[in-house]
């Protein structure tokens, strides 16, 4: 019982650790559906424009953290200004710093169904004002399609 109370208190306290700053708001990104626990989790936030969306070095925020030993992961990502953005989660399994479509997992804000090309900007753009919470499910290449793992032990 004590452990459950402690876990509930820690979960409730998480949003307090992510605060909008004088420089701008923040995205509180919770990622789930990891295929395994190898590598890094990268959260990248792009302006919601065609010119910036997934363009090299056009992100407004990028955070890399080691994948935790279990469970979902929550990352606070401050952004310089409120507005429309795209939040991207990359499970960089080999820690190469870039997407390896054959092994890495990826997910986007609004969790669109993914194909073999990048999603349409309109399907992933979201407003970020204050502290904006997002839940992103990772997708991996599975045969000839991209889909979530959906294994309870890896989620």
Q: What is the mean pLDDT of each run of 10 residues along the chain (155 residues)?
A: 36 53 84 97 98 96 97 96 97 96 97 95 97 97 91 48
C-alpha span between 129 and 82 (Å, rounded): 5
Task: Give residue 22's pLDDT.
Answer: 56
- The separation between the first and the last C-alpha atoms of the chain, rounded to the nearest angstrom, is 23
Task: Give residue 150's pLDDT.
Answer: 77
pTM: 0.85
């Amino acid at each position: 019982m004590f452990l459950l109370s402690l876990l509930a208190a820690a979960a409730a306290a998480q949003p307090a650790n992510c605060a909008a700053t004088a420089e701008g708001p923040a995205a509180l990104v919770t990622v789930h559906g990891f295929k395994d626990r190898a590598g890094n989790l990268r959260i990248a936030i792009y302006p919601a424009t065609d010119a910036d969306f997934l363009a090299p070095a056009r992100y407004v925020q990028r955070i890399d953290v080691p994948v935790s030993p279990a469970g979902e992961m929550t990352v606070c990502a401050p952004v310089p200004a409120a507005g429309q953005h795209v939040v991207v989660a990359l499970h960089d399994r080999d820690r190469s710093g870039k997407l390896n479509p054959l092994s890495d997992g990826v997910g986007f804000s609004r969790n669109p169904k993914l194909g073999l090309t990048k999603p349409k900007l309109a399907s992933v753009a979201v407003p970020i004002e204050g502290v904006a919470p997002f839940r992103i499910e990772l997708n991996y290449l599975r045969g000839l399609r991209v889909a979530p793992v959906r294994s309870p032990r890896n989620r």
